[in-house]
């Protein structure tokens, strides 16, 4: 049969190629290490994204740039997994017309010593000179390579890759940037699902190792998915509020006095005096309302000098802040904020399913549930639910973290939602600038919002009358001189207004069902971590 004869002929050709001495490397110009890219040339070439390698491109010759995730030699061929962000594809280097034995060994990290190509030699690779080092022994994991290959459909799905229906048959492979041979952590270990009762010999990567080597850890498909989804939260927050008529503002982060009137601030040297890092954009949001901007929001860093080493506290985080004038009732603002969160949740479901599923492979979690309109409970209702569950609390006590989590479970059982609003907090547990409830002197016009039983927003109607604000500050024992600028901002007429601040990292953590906010902070800052 012609097919059999052709295969035998091809096999003999491969065997002959394998027997050729190292000096007779017919593919020597098809692989190697490129010189440092210093913008010395601009090849007329289109690099195809790994995520776009599908069956529709079958039999096309493409160029792809990616990282070598793994390499595995098998006889006269080498299988590579080429990774680009959260996507990967299998690539095959096999001895034949385009690849020699030496080229296969090069790809398999078993390359023999090679003589550097002279700077006077010319390479067909757009006239760039290949520079294999005399001691170069193949391609280390995480090295960046350019590959020319033919896209081929595969008879069986490739289970370990995102691109399961195709593979690349490599014709050229060039190292763009060579990684060091020893990695501080293995990416396969870093994405291994966590299970109860770790199996003996089952390698995982602990949190400190991840954070100490954050650049490597951020390359994992899980981390890529987490922070792409987090970017989506910011995008949806901004889109939704702009559509609602809000104006985005940028507020100072270096301030002259503690913005919350408390002591948990970072002091910084400011020329011949001291200043503070802003605990929130509170003062400036409210000043913008007084300046008739009506509806404002900002996205920016927030600093808290709290020595809290918990799963949900950071000393620096990203605040998604909202402030809005209203006509007659602060619930006008509550409804706007709740609807904004709902639009974010819906947008994440519609646009980021790939990221959600990627994260859930390593950290399984039930899909996030929410109601439309959002469930709103008053504090006494929550108190009754907790007391019925055995929690002892006074009428004016604040919720502890365990009580918040228990309430979240009770709400989920009763209302089947992971997102809800708790309204009408006791006045005694809220900041001085919170408006008292006109019907009950022990209650305030304040609210928190919760995801999976943890607070993600704290907000209130603000006291916009300078006399009442002064009285409330004195009641809390606050030095009036330190908040003089804050009180003065209301002396020239201020509309009734309310708002709140949302922690971006917490929203990301709780939406994805993760266990620690450090997983959703790109370079986390806490009382024990100031690097990288």
Weakest-pLDDT range from 107-116, 276-285, 351-360: 107-116
Looking at the chain, how many residues does it have? 532
- Give the pLDDT of residue 208: 94
Query: Active site residue: 192, 228, 313, 529, which one?
Result: 313
Mean pLDDT of all residues in the chain? 89
Active site residue 238: no
Structure tokens, 379: 């504090």
CA–CA separation, 278 and 266 (whole Å): 8
13-27, 142-156, 385-399: segment of lowest average pLDDT? 13-27
The pLDDT tens digits for 480-503 are: 987 888 899 999 999 999 999 999
Percent of the chain with pLDDT over 90: 78
Question: Domains in the chain, please, with CATH?
Answer: 24-183 (2.40.50.140), 221-520 (3.30.930.10)
Instruction: Give me the pLDDT at residue 114, please.
Output: 38
Name the residue with higher pLDDT: 259 or 425. 425
User: What is the mean pLDDT of the segment spanning 115-137?
Assistant: 44
Calculate mean pLDDT across residues 313-330.
97
What confidence score (pLDDT) does residue 260 get?
57
**Residue with the larger pLDDT of the pair 364 and 14:** 364
The HSE-up count of residue 466 (CA atoms within 13 Å, CB side) is 14
148 with 62: CB under 8 angstroms? yes
Q: Based on the residue annotation, tell me whether 458 is a catalytic residue of this protein.
A: yes
Annotated active-site residue 110? The verdict is no
| Cα angle 356-357-361, degrees, rounded to a multiple of 5 | 120
Peptide bond into 410 cis (omega under 30): no
State how far the alpha carbon of 315 is from the alpha carbons of 98, 277, 279, 448, in Å.
56, 11, 10, 21
Classified as helix, coil or strand, 255 is strand
Tell me how far apart the alpha carbons of residues 359 and 378 are, in angstroms, rounded to a whole number: 34
Cα distance between residue 528 and residue 532, in whole Å? 12
Per-residue pLDDT reduced to its tens digit, 32-60: 999 999 998 888 999 999 999 999 999 99
| Residue 474 confidence (pLDDT) above 60 | yes
Nearest Cα to 526, choosing from 360, 349, 315?
A: 315
Other Cβ atoms less than 10 A from the Cβ of 201: the count is 5
Q: Does the pLDDT value for residue 313 go beyond 80?
A: yes
Q: Is pLDDT above 80 for 356?
A: yes
SS3 336: helix
Largest separation between any pair of C-alpha atoms in the chain: 100
Catalytic annotation, pick one of 148, 167, 404, 455: 455
Structure tokens that stand for 37 in this block: 């890219």
User: What is the rounded CA–CA span in Å between residue 220 and residue 277?
Assistant: 33
pLDDT(134) > 50: no
| 130 exposure class (CB count in 10 Å sphere: 0-12, 13-18, 19+) | buried
Instruction: Say yes or no to pLDDT of 327 above 60.
Output: yes
Range 35-43, long-range pairs (CB < 8 A, 24+ positions) = 35/128, 35/129, 35/131, 37/176, 41/126, 41/127, 41/128, 43/126
Which of residues 127 and 516 earns the better pLDDT score? 516
More confident residue, 449 or 484: 449
* Annotated catalytic residue 313: yes
Kind plus residue range of the DSSP H or E element containing 360: helix 353-362
Q: Decide if pLDDT at 365 tops 90.
A: yes
Is the pLDDT score of 516 beyond 50?
Answer: yes
d(CA 166, CA 62): 13
Name the active-site residue from 100, 403, 458, 489. Answer: 458
Please tell me the least confidently modeled range out of 11-20, 35-44, 136-145, 399-408: 11-20
Q: What is the mean pLDDT of residues 504-529?
A: 97
Spatial distance between the Cα atoms of 386 and 401, rounded to a whole number of angstroms: 13
Residue of 14, 30, 69, 312 marked active site = 312
Query: Which has the higher per-residue pLDDT, 134 or 310?
Result: 310
Distance of alpha carbon 128 from alpha carbon 110, whole angstroms: 24
Phi, psi of 188 (to 5 degrees): -65, -35
Q: Identify the pLDDT of residue 133.
A: 44
CA dihedral 466, 470, 472, 475 (to 10 degrees): -170
Model confidence over 198-252: pLDDT tens digits? 555 557 899 999 999 999 999 999 999 999 999 999 999 999 999 999 999 999 9
Which is the catalytic residue, given 169, 472, 506, 518?
506
Q: Decide if 506 is catalytic.
A: yes
**Residue 426 pairs with which residues in a beta bridge?**
443
Q: Residue 414 CA to chain centroid, in angstroms?
A: 32
Q: Give the distance from CA 486 to its chain's centroid.
A: 35
Burial class of residue 119 in the structure, from the number of CB atoms within 10 Å of its CB (0-12 exposed, 13-18 middle, 19+ buried)? exposed
29, 306, 378, 454: the active-site residue: 306
Token pair in block for residue 525: 């800052």
User: Which of these is catalytic: 30, 69, 210, 304?
Assistant: 304
- Other C-beta atoms lying within 10 Å of the C-beta of residue 323: 28
Q: What is the pLDDT of residue 111?
A: 40
pLDDT for res 131: 53
Q: Which residue has the higher pLDDT, 502 or 10?
A: 502
Using the Cα atoms of residue 33, residue 39, residue 41 and residue 42 in order, give the sign of their dihedral: positive
pLDDT at 285: 95
Rounded to whole angstroms, how far apart are CA atoms 321 and 336?
Answer: 13
Residue 406 predicted with pLDDT over 90: yes
pLDDT of residue 259: 55
49 assigned to active site:
no
């Amino acid at each position: 049969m012609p097919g059999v004869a052709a295969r035998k002929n091809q096999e003999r050709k491969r065997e002959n190629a394998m027997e050729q001495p190292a000096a007779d490397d017919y593919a020597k110009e098809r692989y190697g290490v490129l010189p440092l890219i210093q913008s010395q040339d601009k090849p007329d070439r289109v690099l195809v994204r790994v995520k776009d390698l599908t069956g529709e491109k079958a039999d096309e010759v493409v160029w792809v740039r990616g990282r070598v995730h793994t390499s595995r030699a098998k006889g006269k061929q080498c299988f590579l997994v080429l990774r680009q962000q959260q996507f990967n594809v299998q690539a095959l280097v096999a001895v034949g017309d385009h690849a020699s034995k030496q080229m296969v060994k090069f790809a398999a990290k078993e390359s023999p010593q090679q003589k550097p190509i002279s700077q006077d030699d010319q390479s067909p690779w757009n006239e760039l000179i290949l520079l294999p080092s005399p001691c170069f022994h193949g391609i280390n994991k995480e090295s960046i390579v350019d590959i020319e290959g033919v896209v081929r459909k595969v008879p069986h799905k490739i289970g370990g890759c995102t691109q399961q229906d195709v593979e690349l048959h490599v014709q050229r492979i060039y190292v763009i940037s060579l990684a060091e041979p020893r990695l501080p952590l293995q990416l396969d270990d870093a994405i291994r699902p966590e299970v109860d009762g770790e199996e003996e010999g089952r390698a995982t990567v602990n949190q400190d190792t991840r954070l100490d080597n954050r650049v490597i850890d951020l390359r994992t498909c899980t981390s890529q998915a987490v922070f792409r989804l987090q970017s989506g939260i910011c995008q949806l927050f901004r889109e939704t509020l702009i559509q609602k008529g809000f104006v985005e503002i940028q507020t100072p982060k270096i301030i002259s006095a503690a913005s919350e009137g408390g002591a948990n601030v970072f002091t910084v040297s400011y020329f011949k005096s001291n200043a503070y890092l802003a605990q929130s954009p509170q003062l400036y949001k409210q000043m913008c309302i007084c300046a008739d901007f009506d509806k404002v929001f900002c996205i920016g860093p927030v600093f808290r000098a709290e020595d809290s080493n918990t799963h949900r506290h950071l000393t620096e985080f990203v605040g998604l802040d909202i402030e809005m004038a209203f006509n007659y009732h602060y619930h006008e603002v509550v409804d706007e904020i709740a609807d904004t969160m709902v639009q974010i949740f819906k947008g994440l479901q519609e646009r980021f399913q790939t990221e959600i599923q990627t994260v859930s492979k390593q950290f399984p979690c039930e899909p996030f549930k929410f109601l439309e309109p959002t469930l709103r409970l008053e504090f006494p209702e929550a108190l009754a639910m907790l007391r019925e569950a055995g929690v002892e609390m006074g009428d004016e006590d604040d919720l502890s973290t365990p009580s918040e989590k228990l309430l979240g479970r009770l709400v989920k059982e009763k209302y089947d939602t992971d997102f809800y609003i708790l309204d009408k907090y006791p006045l005694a547990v809220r900041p001085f600038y919170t408006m008292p409830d006109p019907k009950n002197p022990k209650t305030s016009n304040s609210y928190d919002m919760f995801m999976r039983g943890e607070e993600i927003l704290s907000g209130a109607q603000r006291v916009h009358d300078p006399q009442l604000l002064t009285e409330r500050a004195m009641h809390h024992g606050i030095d009036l001189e330190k908040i003089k600028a804050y009180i003065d901002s209301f002396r020239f007429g201020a509309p009734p207004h309310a708002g709140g601040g949302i922690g971006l990292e917490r929203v990301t953590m709780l939406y994805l069902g993760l266990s620690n906010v450090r997983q959703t902070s790109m370079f986390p800052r806490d009382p024990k971590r100031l690097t990288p």
